[in-house]
Amino acid sequence: MEVFNKIRNTVSNLGAVLPGNPVTREFEVERHIASAGPGLLWKIFQGYKRSTKQEAAVFVLEKKQLERYSKRDRDVILDILKKGVAQLTRLRHPSILTVQHPLEESRESLAFATEPVFASLANLLGNNENMPVPPPPDLKDFKLFEVEIKYGLLQIGEGLVFLHNDVKMMHRNICPTSVIINKSGAWKIAGFDFSVSCSNPNDPQPEFPFYELEADLPPAAQPNLDYVAPEYVLTLKCDTASDMFSLGMMVYAVFNNGSPIYNNCGNLSTLKKHAKKLQQLSASVFSCFPSEAKEHFKMLLNATAEVRPDAHQFSKFQFFEDVGVKTLQYLDSLYQWDNLQKSHFFKGLPQVLAQMPKRVALQRVLPCLVKEYVNPEMVPFVLPNVLLIAEQVSKEEFRHNILPDLIPVFKLQEPVQILLIFMQKMELLLTKCPPEDIRNHVLPMVYRSLESDAQQIQELCLNVIPNFAGLIEYSAMKNALIPHIKKLCLTTSYLSVRVNCLVCLGKLLEHLDKWLVLDDILPVLPQIPSKEPAVLMGILGIYKLAMTHKKLGITKDVMATKVIPFLMPLTIENGLTLNQFNAIISVVKDMINKVETEHRGKLEQLNSIRQEQSSTLEMTQVHPIKQGEIFSDLDSNKSKDANSLGDMFQGLGLDSYVNKSPASKASVTSQFSSVSTTASNTSQLRKVELSLEEKQQLAQQQEQQLRFKMQAPIIPENKPLSTSNPAKPRNLTNSLLDTNLTSLGLSPGSTGPLQLSSSQNSLSPLAQSSTGLMSNAINQTSFRGHTNTNTLNSWPAFSQPLLGAQATTFQPQSSNLSSLDNLLIPGISSSRLKPPLNQISSGPQSLPVSVFPSFQPQRMAVNQPLISQSHPYSFQSTVSSQPHQGTGSQSIMGTNMQQKQMSSISQSCAKDELDDFFS
């Protein structure tokens, strides 16, 4: 939208200029900013030269504005205006407006181009005739400062000195409409429409022709009657003193808010009346003048021309002896001085700038300073003053007025003082510059400073970087700034620079995130080539900050695997003082304590989770019997020396990898295998620390045993068993079983009721009654569906399929085995006829009665096979009754052979028992 408004305003403003005026071919005209000249007929437009892009001001006179006058008056006005522009074009002086392009006339307009213009003095004093509506925002509430007025009047006086003494010319129309303030704030003389030259230039007392004022001419065709000297109407002659009167009247208007002493309204008769009253003016009329210059300015308004000071005397007024005025005056004449004089002036300039208004410093001082950028030797003296002005202006003003000229200076590396000044004012630059310019111009200058060969530049840059780190974007810091600092830290040969790099990195940690520190900063610390104490302390400081900062926090893995192994060797570095050693040791201890605390907490949590899981498993299954209990007797012959050596490894967490001691095995065995209802066994269990779940299981087993004791015996069907016992080949398995049963106190070899051996008295009443029931049941029970008398001919034959030797020959068809549950000894399940592993020993022993309460009895379902399909050589039920007597001769092997065979069977059963349990 702004682009369209700009184009529309330009087209509308140039309606009178565009048709055929040659000025528009060389200058781009933009917006209407001011007005000037007789009757403010000239419109002033802001613009620039197309070829060089140099700023300019275009003065345009629209001929249609003169249509209200008669043709004679229009011609007179046009001739006067053309003459004034032509005279202005020929003059060159710092106090005279500079013309860049001469007057061009077209059918509808007059136009010429000058240096950039801000406004005319009449516009600043409130005369907005022929101005844009609304007025430009720059002129809103505009007020001239005292230093501006002083130096402006001094410039006009110097311009009159040039005209009167050098050019021998009278201006004849010094007034606010003929004074132009350029973009830099300098006051320039223009409006030479009524100027006259001396008739005898070589005469020391020049005389000027007199042109009498005509009453019938319009105001635009004659000088401003409010500012002309009284002699124009009283004595009908004029000289340079007349211009001084006009200057005095303009000074009065400046201090009186734009109003002169008399308002003649363009009438000659009124002018004559007021001219006669000048001698009778009261002192109160001049109260608007500054007190220190009141007497001098009153002399300018004296009715007698000879009393008035000339232009040179005016320039020497004490009123202009001001520090600010002198400063501005020196700035305008800088081109005349050498570098030494300039350097002295620029060194004292900051003190003056602190007292100057911001607009004066921006408009008057800055343009003069910018001109010195072309001289690199002067830049270190000019730059502090420019940056001081930058502190006073807004971001918008900095971006438009200061930054464009400052960007080329960012690239200068010589002299080195330029980088030093920029480093000291880096915070100001980052605050005022737009983000794009920071990324494109400011930060590259910082990187160049880090890469500089000057040690002082590097150290200063490292010292100031943390001060503005918060203003740098995170991506720029991560991808550019941090890598440059790391590279400098690793490659520099200056110890102080390396230490400053470490300190800078430490101060930047709070502006970084945890992972950037862990990935980019900490890994580079062990790579630093030097081990000087100062460097070690810098490294230690970074580690300490990273460990203690709440936002960062080094992880325990990094501390344990990287930091602590790197810091420990540093504790014995030569050259460390006691305080430095204590500092390193303190940080190492803090890290070790932190690792210990965090990891112990983690392990405690894991241990509690494992305990909860194991307790859950113990509630759902019987405790497994330790494998090492089977081989408990193998460790009994170990010497005491071996036990004492093994104690060295206790408490190191190696118990699960080595064999346990016999004492521990016996204690475990006593917990899970010797469960009895007797008082002696109960007292033994109390010595072992059992968990609540284990105690609950033991109580449930005791209750089940008591429940089975209270049950009445089940009487099976009375069906005789077949006694035919044909001869069979000798079976070593049956023979071995008979031998084992004999060693247990049972009598094999008979198909009738089971007979107890001499060791029967060692069984409990429960076992004896159960044995009787078993023998009666076997005598009376027959298997249905089997007419062969060899089916249960003998106990050894029946025991063969139990041992798996002939598992394929015994497969009863639709046999009702429910009666077998009543034949078993209470406490023994028919579903799993396995002897407990803790009761199988390496030699012949009698079967203890405590084996039965340790297993929960279960009833075997009908038609459930007695043979284990997964382990054909293992018992599926705990058989504690006497074997059935068989027929035929069975050789019984000696006691030694029985012990060896029984030991091998016990070991085999134990392994099968473990496999079956863990499956």
User: What is residue 765's predicted lDDT score, i.e. its pLDDT?
Assistant: 40
Q: Is pLDDT of 194 > 90?
A: yes
Task: Return the percentage of the chain with pLDDT > 90, whole number.
Answer: 18
* Residue 152 or 810, more confident: 152
Contact by Cβ (8 Å): 254, 144: yes
Contact by Cβ (8 Å): 590, 569: no
User: What is residue 821's predicted lDDT score, i.e. its pLDDT?
Assistant: 44
pLDDT band at 83 (very low <50, low <70, confident <90, very high): very high
pLDDT band at 716 (very low <50, low <70, confident <90, very high): low
User: What is residue 140's predicted lDDT score, i.e. its pLDDT?
Assistant: 82
Q: Give pTM, 2 decimals.
A: 0.58
pLDDT band at 670 (very low <50, low <70, confident <90, very high): very low
Question: How open is the CA angle 867-786-773, to the nearest 5 degrees?
Answer: 65
Q: Is pLDDT of 459 > 80?
A: yes
Q: Is pLDDT of 473 > 50?
A: yes
Q: How far apart are the first and last CA of the chain?
A: 84
Which DSSP symbol is given to 877? B
Contact by Cβ (8 Å): 635, 662: yes
CA distances from 326 to 184, 319, 343, 389 (A): 16, 11, 16, 18
Q: Is pLDDT of 916 > 60?
A: no
Name the H helices within 621-726.
640-646, 662-672, 679-687, 692-709
* Residue 478 or 97, more confident: 97
Q: Is pLDDT of 661 > 90?
A: no
Weakest mean pLDDT among 251-255, 423-427, 914-918: 914-918
The two three-digit tokens of residue 11, written as one number: 């087209």
Three state DSSP letters for 770-830:
HHHHHHHHHHHCCCCCCCCCCCCCCHHHHHHHHHCCCCCCCCCCCCCCCCHHHHCCCCCCC
Question: How open is the CA angle 9-10-14, to the nearest 5 degrees?
Answer: 115
Q: How many CB atoms lie within 10 A of CB 785?
A: 11
Q: Is pLDDT of 122 > 70?
A: yes
Weakest mean pLDDT among 25-34, 688-697, 755-764: 755-764
Q: Average pLDDT in the 873-900 region?
A: 41
Weakest mean pLDDT among 221-225, 315-319, 847-851: 847-851
The two three-digit tokens of residue 228, written as one number: 């002309």
* Residue 627 or 374, more confident: 374
Q: Which of 45-59, 450-464, 578-592, 899-913 has the highest mean pLDDT?
A: 45-59
* Residue 447 or 77, more confident: 77
657 by DSSP, 3-state: which?
Answer: helix
CA distances from 638 to 650, 651, 661 (A): 17, 21, 10
Return the closest-CA partner of residue 909 out of 876, 867, 866, 864: 876
Within 8 A by CB and 6+ apart from 719, the residues are: 780, 781, 782
User: What is residue 38's predicted lDDT score, i.e. its pLDDT?
Assistant: 92
The two three-digit tokens of residue 567, written as one number: 């810091």
Weakest mean pLDDT among 334-348, 493-507, 514-528, 828-842: 828-842
pLDDT band at 526 (very low <50, low <70, confident <90, very high): confident
User: What is residue 458's predicted lDDT score, i.e. its pLDDT?
Assistant: 84
Within 8 A by CB and 6+ apart from 159, the residues are: 93, 95, 96, 188, 189
Three state DSSP letters for 477-534:
HHHHHHHHHHHHHHHCCCHHHHHHHHHHHHHHHHHCCHHHHHHHHHHHHHHCCCCCHH
Q: Is pLDDT of 619 > 90?
A: no
Q: Average pLDDT in the 219-242 region?
A: 89
Q: Average pLDDT in the 21-45 region?
A: 91
The two three-digit tokens of residue 528, written as one number: 């630093």
Q: Kindly give the interhelix angle for 146-161 and 240-255, rounded to the nearest 10 degrees.
A: 170
pLDDT band at 132 (very low <50, low <70, confident <90, very high): confident
Task: Return the percentage of the chain with pLDDT > 70, whole number.
Answer: 67
* Residue 162 or 199, more confident: 162
CA distances from 577 to 502, 538, 540, 573, 785 (A): 20, 15, 14, 10, 101
pLDDT band at 59 (very low <50, low <70, confident <90, very high): very high
Question: How open is the CA angle 793-799-804, to the nearest 5 degrees?
Answer: 130
Weakest mean pLDDT among 326-330, 447-451, 488-492, 738-742: 738-742
User: What is residue 647's predicted lDDT score, i.e. its pLDDT?
Assistant: 54
Q: Average pLDDT in the 35-64 region?
A: 92
* Residue 779 or 319, more confident: 319
Residue 673 phi/psi, 5° resolution? -120, -25
Q: Average pLDDT in the 582-586 region?
A: 85
How does pLDDT run across 814-871, given as a tens digit for each residue? 444 444 444 444 444 444 444 444 443 344 444 343 333 433 444 444 344 434 444 4
- Report the C-alpha gap between 911 and 899 in whole angstroms: 18
Q: Which of 415-424, 546-555, 666-675 has the highest mean pLDDT?
A: 415-424
Average pLDDT score, the chain: 73
Contact by Cβ (8 Å): 187, 174: no
870 by DSSP, 3-state: which?
Answer: coil
Q: Is pLDDT of 244 > 50?
A: yes
User: What is residue 433's predicted lDDT score, i.e. its pLDDT?
Assistant: 87
CA distances from 781 to 534, 789, 816 (A): 100, 13, 10
